[in-house]
């Protein structure tokens, strides 16, 4: 199976519960950014995501409050670099006690110092290591030599220790798709449980010409569709077809809510138009219909999984053929 049974049942239960309550919009994933401190300054990263001071991190209790109020079955701990967060072991422990799935997104550099040996492997904890290409490309994107080798060593060690390890790759304008395929092969040989490939998006605060136009993205994702037939990608086939320009969806920005040291970020993981101190203010103050419609110029080149994977799920009941494909995709090894 592509995802463990408990993850599937938790998500199905969450959707059934919300359907019974008549909720049209509800969070699927909480993007929890406990700190904006990082040990890297990658070229595609928003400036606010790696320049924060450790003392300005979210207190543990505020993180847990966000987990409780969002009710999302999956918590993606990102940042900043979450392995720098001093309260990480307690945070992971408390989220697992709440029976949520954790995806810990990391550059991998501090896994040996701050995670392995301090946090035990658990079926509800997946470590997601970021790799944007093979050695030369990844070290260039991370603006530091040696990052690729260390990340690979940490993946190898994590697998050996029994951790659930995934990898995620962002596709930029210059990304060679042959290299992405080679990376998938290397990661599969290392024993990762899945790979997420997503298109780079130009954050408002990133001044760089590395991001894809819509046509470039569609061309590269047609190749990703081919790669997905050989390797275990975690993006759904319908999402990949959307990114490849073969189908259309409205956005579901409410499906992935983001809590940060600056508050709840709205309207979506990518765009920070508002930073609200409370979930209610964020949820009730965002014009969801407007952002779903993708009419804003900032949405023009966006095909981020955080906005569109939930749209795939939302549309499934209208398309029985897609439902069958989705079940077969989940069952595939």
Instruction: Using CB under 6 A, list all residues that contact ligand SF4.
Output: 251, 253, 267-268, 270-271, 291, 294, 298-299, 302, 304, 306-307
115/304 with CB nearer ligand SF4: 304
Q: Which is nearer to ligand SF4, 33 or 193 (CB)?
A: 33
The residue among 181 and 296 lying less far from ligand SF4, judged by its C-beta, is: 296
Q: Tell me how far, at minimum, the Cβ of 108 lies from ligand SF4, in Å.
A: 26
CB of residue 270 to ligand SF4, shortest distance in Å: 5
Cα-based distances in Å from 171 to 243, 320, 325: 12, 31, 25
First to last CA, the chain: 5
Task: Please give the backbone phi and psi of residue 217, each rounded to the nearest 5 degrees, phi first.
Answer: -65, -45
Query: CA-to-CA distance for 2 and 5, rounded, in angstroms?
Result: 9
Reduced to 3 states (helix: H, G, I; strand: E, B; else coil), residue 194 is: coil
For residue 193, give the nearest of 167, 230, 227, 228 by alpha carbon.
167
Shortest distance in whole angstroms from residue 300 CB to ligand SF4 = 8
| CB nearer ligand SF4, residue 11 or residue 306 | 306
Chain residue at closest Cβ approach to ligand SF4: 307
Considering the complex, what minimum distance in angstroms separates the CB of residue 167 from ligand SF4? 22
Judged by beta carbon, residue 115 or residue 268, the one nearer ligand SF4 is 268
Q: Which is nearer to ligand SF4, 202 or 234 (CB)?
A: 202
C-alpha to C-alpha distance for 198 and 202, rounded to whole angstroms? 13
CB of 79 to ligand SF4, least distance (A): 19
| Long-range contacts formed by 323-332: CB under 8 A, 24+ apart | 325/237, 325/238, 326/236, 326/237, 326/238, 329/2, 329/236, 329/237, 330/1, 330/2, 330/3, 330/8, 331/1, 331/2, 332/1, 332/2
* DSSP bridge partners of 240: none
DSSP per position, 164-186: EEEEEEEE-TT--HHHHHHHHHH
Output 183 or 271, the one with its CB closest to ligand SF4. 271
| Minimum distance of ligand SF4 from residue 285's CB (angstroms) | 15
The least distance separating ligand SF4 from the CB of residue 138, rounded to whole angstroms, comes to 25
């Amino acid at each position: 199976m592509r995802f463990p049974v408990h993850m599937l049942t938790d998500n199905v239960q969450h959707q059934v519960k919300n359907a019974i309550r008549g909720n049209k919009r509800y969070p699927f994933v909480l993007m929890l950014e406990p700190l904006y401190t990082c040990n890297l300054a990658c070229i595609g990263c928003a400036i606010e995501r790696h320049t924060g001071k450790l003392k300005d991190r979210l207190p543990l209790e505020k993180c847990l409050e966000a987990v409780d109020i969002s009710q999302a079955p999956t918590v993606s701990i990102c940042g900043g670099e979450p392995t720098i967060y001093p309260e990480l072991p307690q945070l992971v422990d408390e989220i697992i006690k709440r029976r949520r799935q954790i995806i810990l997104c990391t550059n991998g550099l501090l896994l040996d110092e701050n995670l392995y040996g301090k946090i035990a492997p658990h079926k509800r904890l997946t470590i997601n290591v970021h790799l944007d290409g093979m050695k030369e490309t990844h070290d260039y994107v991370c603006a530091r030599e040696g990052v690729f080798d260390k990340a690979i060593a940490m993946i190898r060690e994590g697998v050996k220790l029994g951790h659930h390890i995934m990898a995620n790759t962002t596709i930029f304008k210059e990304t060679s798709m042959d290299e992405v395929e080679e990376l998938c092969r290397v990661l599969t040989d290392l024993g990762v449980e899945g790979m997420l490939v997503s298109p780079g998006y130009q954050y408002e605060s990133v001044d760089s010409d590395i991001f894809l136009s819509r046509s470039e993205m569609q061309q590269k994702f047609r190749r990703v569709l081919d790669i997905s037939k050989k390797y275990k990608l975690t993006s759904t086939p319908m999402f990949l077809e959307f990114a490849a320009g073969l189908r259309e969806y409205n956005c579901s920005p409410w499906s992935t809510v983001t809590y940060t040291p600056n508050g709840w970020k709205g309207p979506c993981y990518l765009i920070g138009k508002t930073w609200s101190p409370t979930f209610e203010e964020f949820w009730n103050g965002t014009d969801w219909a407007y952002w779903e419609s993708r009419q804003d110029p900032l949405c023009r080149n966006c095909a981020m999984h955080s906005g569109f994977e939930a749209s795939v799920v939302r549309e499934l009941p209208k398309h029985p053929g897609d439902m069958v494909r989705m079940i077969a995709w989940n069952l595939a090894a």
